[in-house]
Chain A
Amino acid sequence: QVQLVESGGGVVQPGGSLRLSCAASDFTFSHYGIHWVRQAPGKGLEWLAFIRFDGSKEFYADSVKGRFTISRDNSRNTAFLQMNSLRTEDTAIYYCAGYGGHTGAFDFWGQGTMVTVSS
């Protein structure tokens, strides 16, 4: 059973930083791209960033470009989302999702980690 487990969420003040992790197990992590998607309380889903299976390319939504950085360490089966200059509107559950490479969809998801930006 493929598994993604997010961690690193918490409460941070506006302007602060946080680094989220997405740990993979029970599949060949280095064969899969990774997305980060968030969901503000009571709201819909928003795609944030994607990194290719080998880490060669990253893509970002305009809403986070320049503030968030996606990365991965295939030797540790882990992906990351570095979030800087956080704003109150970044408060959300952050999910990582795996992508097998040909469907254009988010194939499987982690359970998410909550980030609260508040003073």
Chain B
Amino acid sequence: DIVMTQSPDSLAVSLGERATINCKSSQSLLYRSDNKNYLAWYQQKPGQPPKLLIYWASTRQSGVPDRFTGSGSGTDFTLTISRLQAEDVAVYYCQQYHNSPPMYTLGQGTKLEIK
């Protein structure tokens, strides 16, 4: 089974500064058939369901501010939140998709707070 490991488990960043969250997969998420990395990022605010931010490692979901940037390939991925705002306080999860058979694994989550 593919294991997803996020780091750090929590971080505190000052308003207006940059937050960086890492996600490492135990197997490559790059599919040669379409050259896409099947890695997604979600934001979950307290008391709310998760919200899709990024898919294919770097494609922003419609309506997501461009302060959120996904990067990486293969086994190592990063979510960067630039110009941190108070509304960005949340837990962030990465998630992989494996297609044969379809299996989905999420990281343990990273809690982002304001310093």
Contact = CB atoms under 8 A, between A and B. Distances in A.
Interface of A: 35, 44-47, 50, 59, 61-62, 95, 103-112
Contact of B97 (A105, A107, A108, A112): A105
A38 to B, nearest CB: 11
B104 A47 contact: yes
Contacts of A45: 42, 44, 50, 93, 95, 106, 109
21 contacts: A44-B107, A45-B42, A45-B109, A47-B103, A47-B105, A59-B101, A59-B103, A103-B56, A104-B38, A104-B55, A104-B97, A104-B99, A105-B52, A105-B55, A105-B97, A106-B50, A106-B52, A107-B61, A108-B52, A109-B51, A112-B49
| Secondary structure of the B contact surface, majority rule | strand
Interface of B: 1, 38, 40, 42, 44, 48-52, 55-56, 59, 61, 93, 95-97, 99, 101-109
B38 A107 contact: no
A107 B95 CA distance: 12
A84 B96 CA distance: 27
